[in-house]
Amino acid sequence: MPTPVITRFAPSPTGHLHIGGARTALFCWAYARRHDGRFLLRIEDTDQARSSDEAARGILEDLAWLGIDWDEGPAVEIAGRTLGGDPRGVGPFFQARRLETYNAYLDWLIDRDLAYPAFDTPEELGAMRAEAEREKRTFRYARSASYDRGAAMARYRAGEACVVRLRLGDADVRVRDDVLGDIAFEREHIDDFVLRKADGFPTYHFAVVIDDELMGVTHILRGQEHLNNTPRHVALQQALRRLDNGEPFRTPVYAHLPLIFNPDNSKMSKRDKAKAARRAMKDAVAAGAQSAESIANAAGIDPAQAAAFLAGETDAPSLAEAIARVLGVSLPEIEVEDFRAGGYLPEVLVNYLALLGWNPKAKNADGTDLEKFDAAYLGERFDLPAIGKTASKFDRDKLRAFNFAAIQAMDDAQFAAVWRAWCARYDREVLARLGAEDGVSDRMLIAARAAKPRCNTLAEARGPVAFALIDNDAIVFDEKAVEKVLKKPTDAAKPELGTGAGFLRVMRTELDALSAFTPEAIDAWAKSFAESRGVGMGKVAQPLRVAITGGTVSPGLGETLALVGKASVLARIDRCVAKFA
C-alpha cells in the first residue's frame, strides 16, 4: 500500500493570513484532496515576541472563509462547522506546546556530538558578519578549531545561556524538488545553523523538520523563498533518527511555489501597507497640510508611535491602518482579510489564486482556455507538474474582472443575500438605510438589482445606489448637470414644454398618480410619457435623474425612482423645482 499523502500548511501567527500564504494553503489542500490524502494545519508559534493567539485565530478564520478545511490541526468551531482534530494522535499542533519533543531530539543530537552548544554573543556574531562583508565573502558560521567540547558541555550543563547548533556533515546536499527539479548545494554554502535559541525555543528549521517527520508529512509545498532553507532541512533529516523506533527521518517531496509580486516587481508583503501609509503621511507632512502630531491625534494613536512609524522604525499594521483612515488613502490589499473587506468573493479569490502559478491546461467548450473553476475542480485536478516556475505579478484588474463575472452569475436575490451578509460585517449603514437589518428587504432587493451590474466588488455595490442612502435634502446638485438638463429648454421646437425643471412639474403630477411604484411600472410610464409629448427618453430621464440623484448618472430610471420610493421622489422633485425652475 502506498504511503498516503499528507500535506501541511504551517503559518506563524503574527498577523492575518497573507495572500501568498493563502495560495500555499490552497495548493497543499488541493494536493491532499487530489490524492485522497490528509491536509494538516500546524501553528508555528516559536517566535515568542511576535506570535499571538488572536493572530492564530484570525488565520484559522481566514482559511475557513476561503473554504480551505483542514483534516488535522487546531480543533475549532467556525461558522457552525468543526474543523481540525487529532485522529492519529500526532498533536499538539501549536509548536510552543511541543518543547519537550524538540528537547528530546536535541539531547539525542548533543549526546552524539551531532549538535553542540555555542556561546557566541549577538555582538560577536555581528562582528563576524561585518568582517565577512568587508572581505566580500558570504558569512558562514563555523565551529572554531579551538572549540573545547568538554568545557562547552560543562558550561551547558551549568545552565549558561547559549544556542545549540547542528554540526553539519561533510557532504554536499542534493534537494529533489518536484517543481524545480534537482538542485545541488555545496557543503561550503551551508553552515552550522541554530537549532535551539537562547530562550529555549526551537528555531523554525529544527521544529519544522521534527514536526514534519512525526506528523508523517509526505509533501511540502511552500513558497520559493524557502528554497535556500531546504538543504538545511535535508541535512537535519539525514542526521536524525526517530526516538520511538530508531528509523531514520524521511525526506519529504518538496515543491517550491513561484513567488507572487506586486505590479512593480517587488515581493508582495505585509510591509507594503506600512509603506503606502508612510508615503501618504510623508506627503501630507511635506505639503504642510498636517503635522505628524496632528495626524496621530486624529488617528487616535500615540504621537511617539506615529513618529516612530514615520521614521520607519515600526511597520505595525494597526498604525498603518489608523493613519491611512485619517489621510483618506486606501492601503493595498495584501492579506486575506483585506480582500474580504474589499468585497471579493471567497470562491473568486480561490479561483484567481489557483491561477497564480498553476494552470488546469484544459479547454472550455468554445475552445478557449479554461480559467474559471471552483475549489472542487481544483481538488480533482491539481497536481505538481502543472505548477509554473516563474514568479507572477498579482493582477488586481483580472481579480476584479473575475469577481465581476461571479457577481453577474448570481440572480438578484442571491446577490442581495451575499451583499447583505457583507454589509452586516463591513457597512451596517447600508442595512439601516435600506431597512435590511433583519434580512433582505424589498428596497434592498431593488438596490441589489440596480447595483449588481455596476459593481466589481461588494464594497463597490454601495456606489451606484449611494443616492438612496442619504436624506432627501442631502442631495447635492451637480452644477453642470443642472445647467445642461434643468435650465435649458427641453426642446427648442416645442417651447410649450419649458425647461427641464419646468418639465419636471408635469412629470410630478403623473408620477403622483401612479398606483404601482415598481421599476417596471415606472419605466412603462416614462416610455409612454415621452411618446405622448413627442420627445426622446433622455428628455424625461435626465431631469428626473438630476432631481433624484443630483447628477446625470444613475442606474435604470425605474430602479432609481423605485429605490427611493414615491414619497421621496416627489419630495426630491419639489425641492429641485423650487431651486431651479
Residues numbered 257 to 296 that lie near RNA (CB under 7 A) are 258-259, 261, 263, 265-267
Interatomic CA distance for residues 535 and 304, integer angstroms? 65
Q: Which of 67, 176, 178, 228 binds RNA (CB under 7 A)?
A: 228
Least distance to RNA from the beta carbon of 188, Å? 8
199 binds RNA (CB under 7 A): yes
Cβ burial of 415 (10 Å; 0-12, 13-18, 19+) is buried
How many residues touch RNA (CB under 7 A)? 89
Least distance to RNA from the beta carbon of 270, Å? 11
552 binds RNA (CB under 7 A): yes
Q: Which of 542, 550, 572, 577 binds RNA (CB under 7 A)?
A: 542
Place of cell 425643471: 501
Comparing CB distances to RNA, the nearer of 281 and 446 is 446
Beta bridge mates, 194: 165
Contact (CB, 8 A) for 350 and 66: yes
Comparing CB distances to RNA, the nearer of 89 and 122 is 122
Helix (H) / strand (E) containing 220 = strand 219-223
Comparing CB distances to RNA, the nearer of 141 and 517 is 141
Contact (CB, 8 A) for 198 and 163: yes
Residues numbered 302 to 361 that lie near RNA (CB under 7 A) are 355-357, 359, 361
212 binds RNA (CB under 7 A): no
Least distance to RNA from the beta carbon of 288, Å? 34
DSSP 248: B
Q: Show the binding pattern over residues 51-80: x = contacts RNA (CB under 7 A), - = does not.
A: ------------------------------
- CA angle (348, 16, 418) in 5-degree steps: 35
Comparing CB distances to RNA, the nearer of 218 and 456 is 456
**Of the listed pieces 25-33, 65-73, 122-130, 149-157, which binds RNA according to CB under 7 A?**
122-130
Contact (CB, 8 A) for 241 and 213: no
Q: Show the binding pattern over residues 412-451: x = contacts RNA (CB under 7 A), - = does not.
A: ----------------------------------------
Least distance to RNA from the beta carbon of 294, Å? 33
Q: Which of 114, 285, 537, 570 binds RNA (CB under 7 A)?
A: 537
- CA angle (127, 142, 185) in 5-degree steps: 115
Least distance to RNA from the beta carbon of 551, Å? 8
96 binds RNA (CB under 7 A): no
DSSP 49: T
Q: What residues have CB less than 8 Å from 381, skipping those under 6 apart?
A: 34, 360, 362
218 binds RNA (CB under 7 A): no
Comparing CB distances to RNA, the nearer of 195 and 306 is 195
Least distance to RNA from the beta carbon of 363, Å? 8
Q: Which of 184, 287, 474, 493 binds RNA (CB under 7 A)?
A: 184
Q: Which of 337, 347, 371, 412 binds RNA (CB under 7 A)?
A: 371
3-state class of 267 per DSSP?
A: strand
Place of cell 498516503: 4
Interatomic CA distance for residues 345 and 340, integer angstroms? 7
Place of cell 489621510: 327
Q: Which amino acid is at 320?
A: A
163 binds RNA (CB under 7 A): yes
491 binds RNA (CB under 7 A): no
159: left (phi over 0), alpha (psi -120 to 50) or beta: left
Interatomic CA distance for residues 237 and 205, integer angstroms? 11
Residues numbered 125 to 144 that lie near RNA (CB under 7 A) are 125, 129, 136-141
3-state class of 47 per DSSP?
A: coil
Interatomic CA distance for residues 535 and 447, integer angstroms? 29
203 binds RNA (CB under 7 A): yes
464 binds RNA (CB under 7 A): yes
121 binds RNA (CB under 7 A): yes
Comparing CB distances to RNA, the nearer of 269 and 294 is 269
Contact (CB, 8 A) for 415 and 464: no
Q: Which of 144, 245, 390, 532 binds RNA (CB under 7 A)?
A: 390
536 binds RNA (CB under 7 A): yes
Interatomic CA distance for residues 32 and 5, integer angstroms? 6
Interatomic CA distance for residues 363 and 371, integer angstroms? 9
The torsion angles phi and psi of 563, rounded to 5 degrees, stand at -65, -40
Contact (CB, 8 A) for 152 and 158: no
Least distance to RNA from the beta carbon of 411, Å? 14
Least distance to RNA from the beta carbon of 157, Å? 18
388 binds RNA (CB under 7 A): yes
189 binds RNA (CB under 7 A): yes
Interatomic CA distance for residues 301 and 319, integer angstroms? 8
Comparing CB distances to RNA, the nearer of 298 and 466 is 466
155 binds RNA (CB under 7 A): no
